Amino acid sequence: MKNLTVALIGGASGVGKTTLLDAVGLSQFSTGTFFKQRMSLGSRDDVRKGDWSQYESEVAEDIAASILQVFNQNQSAIIDTHFAAKVNGKNYRIGLKRSLLFEIAKRCFEYGDNTCRSIYIYVILVDCDPYSLMDRRRLDKRRDRELIPSDCVNTLRQNRGFSSQYLTEMIRAHNKKQWEMNHKVRYFVVENKDLSTAQNQVINLLQQTPE
Amino acid sequence: MPPFHWTSNVEDAKQEQRTIKELLSLETGLPPSLSFNTGLAIGCSYEENTGRAFAVGVFFDETGSYSTDKRELTADAEVDFPYTPGLLAFRVGPAICRLLDQVSEQVDVLLFDGQGIAHKRGLGLASHIGILYNKPSIGVTRHHLFGNFSHPPTGKLSSTPITHPQTHRTIGYALCLGDNCEPCFVSAGHRISVKDSLSFVCKIAGEGCFPRPLNRAHTIANATARKFYESRRN
């Protein structure tokens, strides 16, 4: 039976996650889109300007349901997310509450045990240097991103920090009980200096899941 | 190209400086001979009555001569930021960025009529804008703002270090550009060492008591601001 992968791919807004995933050519879903739908907003970029925290539980449910739906099609689930996000356009906090992350991971492992498949959860931080982030935010005309130079420094730092909390929750769910299948949790950093190198890195990472 | 966001809050501005200072590099991003093709001297002015900032860019070459095939550039922006020592970038930055957005790709080094790291929070105008465009940048002023120094001896290109009051590290130089000149104050902005910033200014300064291209940019900026005010008044 084929093993299944969940890749939580996160990083600062503008770091190039969506472009990277589009280039890799994998089907994916975005937590920003779930929030946008739940909050009835016109754009993903409006999510961080509002108080998205009250929609977290519903979005976590959406994410878990989407992962299991993709698993049912025998596919890997790729989630485009932010490990850190601003609430009301001000302070940063973790992209989803730790308890919700734990629940998502637990449900994935339960699915694996129920279908006799090993689940590989990858937490992948897409990172770059602040100058590249500043350039990308300036040059990307498709999106409405803030051009506060200090924010480019802060958002990278916050995403690095909170990515480890995502990892912690995945590991906590993994160690919660003696699972029947050989589930695994891994953490990777992809430096998005140039698209093709980063693209190959992501493809190689996702191919690491053994059959 | 979307513009950089500039806060109008003084405390936020100070925090912004503290944060982006992390990106500051004093490693020279020019060849060891400090050679370059195109430099841009930027003078700026703030017209108090109309709340408008003006920036003027003058292209110069390795000898400090203005480029004859490129005309001066001007840009202006409406800015609502109170006069606060150490926060000049937040008053004139929007106009400078409007100017640099047009030409930054063509320029190898930036010269500012403002401070570099010889600044209370280590991030004067030259450092701030240098970081935004990640270009080698140097600040030169007529007035001393921060740090300890002794008056340089009389004589062309004589200099004395400006040291940080707490760390005692050299953060710039007081430099006499002529026998009868009052010193000007040179400090590294970004992607240039403190020592190289002095050598660079000596190299391009020309005759006169203030680096020639910068003097021109500053004069035009002041005249433009004055003209704008008069046109509004009439």
Average pLDDT in the B78-82 region? 93
Are the beta carbons of B97 and B1 closer than 8 angstroms? no
List of chain A residues with pLDDT < 50: none
From chain A, the residues in CB contact with B2 under 8 A are 137-138, 141, 147
Average pLDDT in the B164-173 region? 96
Those residues whose C-beta lies under 8 Å from the C-beta of residue A202, and which sit 6 or more positions away, are: A9, A20, A21, A24, A124, A190
pLDDT tens, position by position, A138-150? 877 666 666 889 9
Average pLDDT in the B60-81 region? 88
Query: What is the enclosing helix (H) or strand (E) of B43?
Result: strand B39-47
pLDDT reported for residue A166: 97
Query: Nearest-CA distance from A7 to chain B in Å?
Result: 31
Those residues whose C-beta lies under 8 Å from the C-beta of residue A100, and which sit 6 or more positions away, are: A56, A57, A60
pLDDT tens, position by position, B196-217? 999 999 999 988 999 999 999 9
pLDDT reported for residue A209: 62
Average pLDDT in the B141-161 region? 94
Average pLDDT in the B183-203 region? 97
B contact residues 4-23, partner A, Cβ 8 Å cutoff: 4-5, 7, 15-16, 19-20, 22-23
pLDDT reported for residue B217: 96
Task: Label residue B232 by pLDDT band (50, 70, 90).
Answer: confident
pLDDT reported for residue B193: 98
| Residue A138 near chain B (CB below 8 Å) | yes
Task: Label residue B189 by pLDDT band (50, 70, 90).
Answer: very high
Those residues whose C-beta lies under 8 Å from the C-beta of residue B54, and which sit 6 or more positions away, are: B44, B45, B46, B47, B74, B75, B76, B92, B95, B221, B224, B225, B228
Q: Tell which wins on pLDDT, B75 or A21.
A: B75
B66-70, B79-83, B136-140, B180-184: lowest mean pLDDT where? B66-70
